[in-house]
Chains A and B, each alone.
Chain A
Amino acid sequence: MQLRYCKQSLAIAWWQLRHQKAQTLAAIVGIAFTTVLLFMQIGFRSSFIGSLVQFPKSFDCDIFIVSASSVTVLRPLPFSERRLYQVLGVEGVESVSPTYINSFLWRDPRDRSLFLRQVMGIGFPLNSRFFEAPGVADNLDKLKLNKSVLIDERSRPEFAPIIDLFRQQGKTIEEIKTSSQGGLHRIKVVGLFELGTSTSFDASIVMSKSTFLSLFDRHPSQIDWGLVRVKPGYDVDEVTERIREYLPNDVRAFSKADVLNKERNFYEYRTPLGLIFRFGLLASVVVGIIILYQILYVKIAQSIQEYATLKAMGYSQQALTLVVIGEASILAVSGYIPGFLASCWMYEFLETATQMIFVMRLDVAIAVLVSISFICFVSGGLAVGKLKEADPADIFG
């Protein structure tokens, strides 16, 4: 189509939108709302997955070794420490370290008859230097004292009183419960570190291996993760493969990249959460399409006589289609912009409210823009069918 026709079609689109201001405004609000919905879904999803992998990501290692019975790397079952030291014999392995993980309950400081759930305890030999979450390295000395722990300052708000108390006093004695029968212990919070929460834990603490073993009544030879660092110049996947061949199959080895991917995929495809996310995304897109289709359809129906007149004047079907698509595109862009701004504000709000990570990432912003454009093109494409009813033979009617 020639340029002057394109220009005229887009001008008509703009004039029509400007003419029916209330309707146009309603359409823009609808699209802005859809934009916010999409950003929320994607934001929650990537923040959820991001916070899930935040934990394994914080370990400076190349390979994880877990018990073959573990469903995911993040929900490990203990295995024998011997397996880990066997790995030192594999070519390309530089160093190894065990990590201990267990969840427990925390006496609620606001109501001492209750316990806060979903707290994760992380233990490691203090000299191992594998856990790299900010704040850990600076406070290692304080952990040498028995039953001393660091608490994650990005824990959920219900843990805020504990953190506040620590900040006021420089330390605080807390009571925890590590097993269903008994298992009550006092611990001393001696410092803070930063990790962030996920759906599977609301708060976490780090401690030395010996503190961990005594709190959780664990046999010293039973570890949850074996961490492996590969020598520079060696390919991580090759070394992982070699470890797999070397070890008996009661344990499994995964490269860190693999763990992160597996973890993402597990939540994406094996838990209802992933399904809910995908369904939510699809539902937002469908709702967006329906809203916009409805608006465009009504607009065309109202202007059917005008479209017929344009056809009588020799405007082509393509030119009129471009009018509708032009309207859809203008609505898309002018709905996306306020939707985007609202989402930025929502992300900030949610980050403080949930202590999960909500970042407005460029690729997500573009992906949402693409989705909105998709919505506009599909609804525009559907609404264009209505144009066929504009029959120039009716104009004299």
Chain B
Amino acid sequence: MDAIAIVEKLNYYYPEGKGERQVLFDINLSIFPGEVIILTGESGSGKTTLLTLIGCLRSMREGSLKIFGEELLNASEKKRMTLRRRIGYIFQHFNLFEFMTVGQNVQSSLVHEKMLPAQARQQTQDLLTAVGLGDRLNSYPRELSGGQKQRVAISRALVHEPKLILADEPTAALDSETGRDVVNLIRNLAKDKGSAVLIVTHDRRILDIADRIVRIEDGKLITAYREEMTLALPTIEDQYFKQLEGKYQTKDFDPGEIVIDEGDDADTFYVIVEGIFEAVKIVPDSPPKLLRQMHKNEYFGEIGLLTPGSKRTATVRVSEDAPGKAIAIDRETFASLVKDSELTYAAVSHQLRKRLTDPEMGENDPNV
């Protein structure tokens, strides 16, 4: 599948005083159709800058950035303007047009489409009905609540069915429940149309809607391990992750590579970040028996760690099809994590119980 956006070796600088200051360093990122990516990072780390570059809102300086297959380096203002018509934008402060009704706001995105006014009205009406605002077509934005405004803004960003949707802190001005509804709405509408979504957010409570999380630190893009772990262990609290800082490693595995051998000492806990991992039972003189496939955000190796001195009960390897990536946490760190946080313990036991009650998997679980 062709990527919607491909960022390669991108650098960006802002003028500062007489010189300039680099804010983005060697960014590489591909966005694929239908994918929901969350971009996190401290304030001032360069998230918005990257978003405006991908959104064709700012001219490039260095590197390569292809949107819908079109190179943006040295692209004319006119070309960027035309590309922008194929992107949907969602803002923290909604940026609705106060002087237009809800319907006119949404329909303002359709001006670039060659369609009859009646059709544009129908499409607007249908989408607003889908987001639950079918009866507010003639209201003005000032008459709406924050959540309703954001739903109008989302409709405006999606009504022309862009293949790329960019959102900067879309929940920051909303309460947590409304924020959740809003990102779910973005995700569902985008998935329906196979559009890719890139959401910049600080909001940890919405991380789970992502298919992938990336993080910018001081202008450099990294895989967001901490956030990935939050997804894997949803009940863990932020403060424990802070303790974890620096105490884990990410490991890359080749396709088919063995991660854990049956019978080894159990000393590491893994959270899957990328690829498919398989738990297998090696049976002599026959092909290995597949016990279970594990995906992103699942973890393995925890049971051995809970009982000191135990051995691995199964082999885990990376699937033959693609490389894998996992976060590895050693026994000591894991123990402190579990000891300090009952919630984590609860989560771990929950996953364990789930596996045990799954009749086929239970008896053969590598960790049991």
Q: A residues near B, CB below 8 A? A: 4-5, 8, 11-12, 15-16, 18-20, 305-306, 309-316, 392-393, 395-397
Contacts and interface: CB of A to CB of B under 8 A. Distances in A.
A395 B95 contact: yes
22 contacts: A5-B111, A8-B108, A12-B100, A15-B99, A16-B99, A19-B98, A305-B95, A309-B97, A314-B81, A314-B82, A315-B111, A316-B81, A392-B52, A393-B52, A393-B57, A393-B58, A395-B95, A396-B48, A396-B51, A396-B52, A396-B92, A397-B48
Given A18-B99, A393-B58, 15 more contacts: A8-B111, A15-B99, A15-B104, A16-B99, A309-B89, A309-B91, A312-B55, A312-B89, A313-B108, A313-B109, A314-B84, A314-B85, A315-B111, A393-B57, A396-B57
7 interchain residue pairs of minimum CB distance:
A19-B99, A314-B85, A393-B58, A396-B168, A314-B84, A392-B57, A309-B95
A177 to B, nearest CB: 71
A312 B157 CA distance: 11
Specify which of A19, A305, A313 lies most central, judged by the most chain B CB atoms within 10 Å of its CB.
A313
B98 A312 contact: no
Nearest to A11: B104
Nearest to A313: B109
Contacts of A12: 99-100
B85 A313 contact: yes
Interface in B79-97: 81-82, 84-85, 89, 91-92, 95, 97
Contacts of B84: 312-314, 392
Nearest to A16: B99
B149 to A, nearest CB: 13
Contacts of B91: 309, 395-396
Contact of A395 (B57, B104, B111, B112): B57
A18 B99 CA distance: 8
A312 B58 CA distance: 10
Contacts of B55: 312
Specify which of A8, A306, A314, A315 lies most central, judged by the most chain B CB atoms within 10 Å of its CB.
A314
Interface string B44-68: 0000100110010110000000000
Interface residues of B, number: 24
Contacts of A5: 111
The secondary structure that dominates the B interface is mixed
A208 B85 CA distance: 86
A395 B51 CA distance: 11
A313 B171 CA distance: 21
B43 to A, nearest CB: 13
B168 to A, nearest CB: 4
B120 to A, nearest CB: 9
A214 to B, nearest CB: 79
Contacts of A395: 57, 89, 91, 95
Nearest to A303: B99
Nearest to B157: A313
Contacts of B81: 311, 314, 316
Contacts of B97: 15, 306, 309
A388 B57 CA distance: 14
A309 B94 CA distance: 10
Nearest to A306: B97
B157 to A, nearest CB: 9
B41 to A, nearest CB: 14
Contacts of A4: 111
Nearest to B104: A15
Given A15-B99, A306-B98, A393-B52, A312 B112 contact: no
Nearest to B92: A396
A328 B85 CA distance: 27
B218 to A, nearest CB: 19
Contact of A313 (B52, B89, B168): B89
A393 B81 CA distance: 12
B167 to A, nearest CB: 9
Nearest to B83: A314
Contacts of A8: 108, 111
A8 B81 CA distance: 17
A310 B57 CA distance: 12
A19 to B, nearest CB: 3
A392 B82 CA distance: 13
A12 B108 CA distance: 10
Nearest to A392: B57
Contacts of A19: 98-99
A313 B86 CA distance: 9
Contacts of B95: 305-306, 309, 395
A128 B328 CA distance: 124
Contacts of A18: 99
A392 B85 CA distance: 13
Nearest to A18: B99
B96 to A, nearest CB: 9
Nearest to B55: A312
Contacts of B48: 396-397
Contacts of A310: 108
Interface string B103-115: 0100011011000
A302 to B, nearest CB: 10
Nearest to A308: B95
Contacts of B58: 393
Nearest to A20: B99
Contacts of B109: 313
Interface string B287-321: 00000000000000000000000000000000000
A208 to B, nearest CB: 75
Contacts of A313: 84-85, 89, 108-109
B28 to A, nearest CB: 22
Contacts of A315: 111
Contacts of A314: 81-82, 84-85, 112
A305 B104 CA distance: 17
Contacts of B51: 396
B57 to A, nearest CB: 4
B310 to A, nearest CB: 51
